[in-house]
Chains A and B, each alone.
Chain A
């Protein structure tokens, strides 16, 4: 039987409304810090302000794809132990991947614009740029696979396998600037390495990452709930179809 829709199936709760408000305030503050308070760079001038969008966006995309892979692995290997057959993990994987693709897209757009000012070209087929666009396209393919009509469990398995394969590219994108000679600069912040930036720029970058994380969390929670609503709607439609067929059989009998 289809569950009766109740307040648990809505996309917004008091907690997500609070999170949404915090996200909005955080973004406004991020704009103020990134566009007004932080200083222009000695070498790059005003163009350095792209850093506060470009870098957090790709970090959030990485994080979202990690969440997609982790949830997909749980769906593949632990779904038998769950009462819902692992659908929670499948929904989480799908919602995180979609948000990851949005932020990977933001990374590409801001990177191209930034490249035009600093390198004199929007695009160069170097290792970092090529692997990033490949990452974007691969996860677009993952999202397309999720929309193919199939039994939810089979579709979930196919998508989970693709998510795990797609994730192989994430470390390649991140380390491409170390493994190959590229036009792209090395990572601004890395574990175990002195930061390339300091002072107000450093703190603005960290704050922007926090703000973008809050926005992405809000989006993932909402998208997760919308996927659950879509499933409920599909189940209701299927039940209505079966009931209609049964009535037809009764009439014929």
Chain B
């Protein structure tokens, strides 16, 4: 494997690992937020403070 291929693979894999983890964390927050009724309030109480979505 050439130096450039190695660098591209290393940076690419690292980006994928961290991005996948970040998406999993945000997605899990959204899912549990909906289960608890936090996300669902958006439709019911659009002007309340708790109407913000549970993700980033």
Give the B-binding residues of A (Cβ under 8 A). 5-7, 9-12, 16-17, 20, 31, 34-35, 44-47, 49-50, 53-54, 57, 102, 105-106, 109-110, 113-114, 116-117, 215, 218-219, 222-223, 225-226, 229-230, 232-233, 236
Q: Are B18 and A215 in contact (CB under 8 A)?
A: yes
Which residues from 6 to 56 on chain B have a C-beta closer than 8 Å to any C-beta of chain A? 6-7, 9-11, 13-14, 17-18, 21-22, 25-26, 28-30, 32-33, 35-38, 49-50, 52-56
Q: Are A236 and B6 in contact (CB under 8 A)?
A: no
Q: Are B29 and A10 in contact (CB under 8 A)?
A: yes
Assess A17 versus B56: contact at CB under 8 Å? Given A102-B21, A229-B29: yes
Q: How far is the CA of A218 from the CA of B17 in the complex (A)?
A: 15
Give how many B residues have a beta carbon under 8 Å from the other chain's beta carbons: 32
Minimal Cβ-Cβ distance residue in A for B38: A5
Q: Are B29 and A50 in contact (CB under 8 A)?
A: no
Q: How far is the CA of A17 from the CA of B1 in the complex (A)?
A: 39
Minimal Cβ-Cβ distance residue in B for A2: B36
Q: Are A11 and B37 in contact (CB under 8 A)?
A: no
Assess A11 versus B6: contact at CB under 8 Å? Given A106-B18, A219-B22, A226-B25: no
Minimal Cβ-Cβ distance residue in A for B22: A219
Question: From residue B15, how far is it (CB to closest CB) to chain A in Å?
Answer: 8
The contact of B14 among A16, A17, A57, A222, by CB within 8 Å, is A57
Q: Tell me the interface secondary structure of chain A in the complex.
A: helix
Q: Are B17 and A109 in contact (CB under 8 A)?
A: yes
Q: Are A31 and B11 in contact (CB under 8 A)?
A: yes
Minimal Cβ-Cβ distance residue in B for A16: B56
Minimal Cβ-Cβ distance residue in B for A231: B32
Identify 9 new A-B residue pairs, CB closer than 8 A, beyond the known A5-B33, A11-B56: A9-B33, A11-B26, A12-B54, A31-B11, A35-B7, A47-B6, A110-B13, A229-B33, A230-B32
Minimal Cβ-Cβ distance residue in B for A20: B56
Chain A neighbourhood of B52, CB < 8 A: 7, 10, 12
Q: Are A110 and B10 in contact (CB under 8 A)?
A: yes
Q: How far is the CA of A226 from the CA of B28 in the complex (A)?
A: 7
The contact of B4 among A10, A34, A46, by CB within 8 Å, is A46
5 contacts between A and B (CB under 8 A): A7-B50, A12-B52, A35-B7, A109-B14, A116-B6
Chain B neighbourhood of A17, CB < 8 A: 56
